[in-house]
Amino acid sequence: MVLAGRYVVRSPISRGAMGTVHLALDHKTGEEVAVKRLTDVTQVARFAIEARLLSFLSHPRVVQVIDHFNDPSGYFLVMDLVRGADLADVLRAGGNPGLPVSVVLGYAHQTCEALDYVHQQRIVHRDVKPENLILGESGVILVDFGVARQLDDETEEVGTVGVGTPRFMAPEIFAGGAVSERSDVFSLAATVSTLLCGELPRYGDRRSMSDRVPGVSTQLSDALRAGMEFMPERRIASIDAFAKAIGRPLESREGASFVRSMSETEGRPSLIGAVVRTAAGVFDAAAASIALVDPVTDELVFKAAWGAGADEIVGVRLPPGTGLAGAAAVSGEPVLVAACREHPDFAARIAENTGYVPNTMLVVPLRRGDETIGVLSLLDRRDGGAYGADDVTRAALFADLAIVALARGPQALAA
């Protein structure tokens, strides 16, 4: 089978509740790649949005997503093929019954590096388990994001360290609750517990790990219990905090940020960039940006952006009234658009030049007193839906808070 006229599918790599992954040859580069297929057609919109974001991830401990495309047989995500043994195989080969504590903590620390970066970019992996942690030449690599959930796959029997084993998933996922960074914390804690004990943890198991595994300290045991709390509100809240709790704090952060701003210094996003990043997280947007009015020319100047098209949109100037952002700036009223391509005010040419044409968009003015000084734009909800009236109200409140926050930075509102 040849996909997209480029990828020759060779053999299956894995199959489970989160998708089907195959080995393929990329005719364009001559390299072998991993291709993941989505067959649940109800998830295509969400998958397309998320796949675009995954392609921007760049970290030495995170698999590189190199392509995504739609095909008559489904939607596909193409990733670098990471060579090495996954940690489930490492456990089977060397567990007695578990692996040495120091070795497991090393793997855990490297996984924390990967997940901390992913979470900083407002992405949740959703499928952390030993099979998705590959031990390569440079250490652990996080692979196979659970975005492509395949609902018709069969799950392997509970009790085996296999693909799709449900006990690595946070309880709220089964209950249909919100997936968050805490969901990945649970999965990582369950993974560490499995590597130490040589068997899967059970939901609600309150036994002390220090009593079960020689060499496990009380601190590590308590950290794992807190990481696997049934209620997410009682669980360790972040990967950074989990790393500290297991005694392996994250000392430095690598990887490319999704945030771009005109006033970055030494690679660090500005305050206005932080506001944009927060907006993207609060509204679960695939992209977000802030443009400010140039007091001399009355043009809108995009000062900061997060997500798809961020590199290209920062610095772009819109003539007064141009595009959906310009319309919101002129009217001083929010603009809510369900289908951007069909709206007469949509600046299609400018969007195409950034490489990202959104499906839906919400733009709210940034107002200081009676004056509109800029706009906040939110593009594409990541669940594939459209923004609604409730989002308009919330975004307007967020814009008010953003103005207060930016006013504290003397350079933040300078056009």
Q: For the segment 334-369, what is each residue's pLDDT rounded down to a tens digit?
A: 999 999 988 998 988 888 888 888 989 999 999 998
Q: Which pLDDT value is given to residue 164?
A: 36
Q: Which pLDDT value is given to residue 155?
A: 36
From 211, 245, 279, the end of a domain falls on 245
In-domain check, residue 412: no
Q: Both 236 and 383 in a single domain?
A: no
- 280: domain CATH number is 3.30.450.40
Q: Both 207 and 96 in a single domain?
A: yes
Q: Both 186 and 316 in a single domain?
A: no
pLDDT at 206 over 90: no
Task: Answer for the pair 299, 345: CB distance below 8 angstroms, yes or no.
Answer: no
User: Mean per-residue pLDDT for 278-290?
Assistant: 93
Q: Both 231 and 278 in a single domain?
A: no
From 245, 280, 304, the end of a domain falls on 245
Residue that wins the pLDDT comparison between 157 and 191: 191
Tell me which of 19-33, 251-265, 321-335, 366-380 is least confident. Answer: 251-265
Tell me which of 165-174, 181-190, 379-388, 394-403 is least confident. Answer: 165-174
In-domain check, residue 415: no
Q: How many helices (H) and strands (E) does the chain have?
A: 13, 16
Of the pLDDT bands very low, low, confident and very high (cuts 50, 70, 90), residue 407 is: confident
In-domain check, residue 397: yes
- Provide Rg for the chain, Cα atoms: 23
Q: How far is residue 180 CA from its own chain's centroid?
A: 10
In-domain check, residue 173: yes
Of the pLDDT bands very low, low, confident and very high (cuts 50, 70, 90), residue 19 is: low
User: Mean per-residue pLDDT for 78-96?
Assistant: 95
Q: Both 210 and 265 in a single domain?
A: no
Query: In this prediction, what percent of the chain has a pLDDT beyond 90?
Result: 62
User: Mean per-residue pLDDT for 187-206?
Assistant: 91
- 165: domain CATH number is 1.10.510.10
pLDDT at 409 over 80: no
* Alpha carbon distances (Å) from 130 to 11, 37, 49: 21, 21, 27
In-domain check, residue 158: yes
pLDDT at 197 over 90: yes
Catalytic residues: 127
In-domain check, residue 254: no
Q: Both 285 and 392 in a single domain?
A: yes
Q: Which pLDDT value is given to residue 269?
A: 58
Q: Both 226 and 275 in a single domain?
A: no
Q: Please state whether 215 falls in left (phi above 0), alpha (psi between -120 and 50) or beta.
A: left
In-domain check, residue 252: no
User: Mean per-residue pLDDT for 270-283?
Assistant: 91
CA distance 149 to 157: 18
Closest-CA residue to 123 (of 178, 171, 181): 181
Q: Which pLDDT value is given to residue 174?
A: 79
In-domain check, residue 105: yes
Q: Which pLDDT value is given to residue 173?
A: 82
SS3 category, 98 = coil
Q: Both 230 and 91 in a single domain?
A: yes
Give how many domains the chain has, as a whole number.
3
Q: Both 275 and 308 in a single domain?
A: yes
From 42, 64, 80, the end of a domain falls on 80
- 13: domain CATH number is 3.30.200.20
Q: Which pLDDT value is given to residue 159?
A: 34
Q: Both 92 and 197 in a single domain?
A: yes
Q: For the segment 387-403, what is each residue's pLDDT rounded down to a tens digit?
A: 999 999 999 999 999 99
Tell me which of 32-36, 105-109, 291-295, 308-312 is least confident. Answer: 308-312
SS3 category, 87 = helix
Q: Both 370 and 229 in a single domain?
A: no
Q: Which pLDDT value is given to residue 151?
A: 27
Structure tokens at 210: 């220090």
Q: Both 231 and 201 in a single domain?
A: yes
Q: Which pLDDT value is given to residue 42?
A: 67
Domain span at 113: 85-245
Strands 317-318 and 74-80 turn out to be: unpaired
CA distance 55 to 86: 22
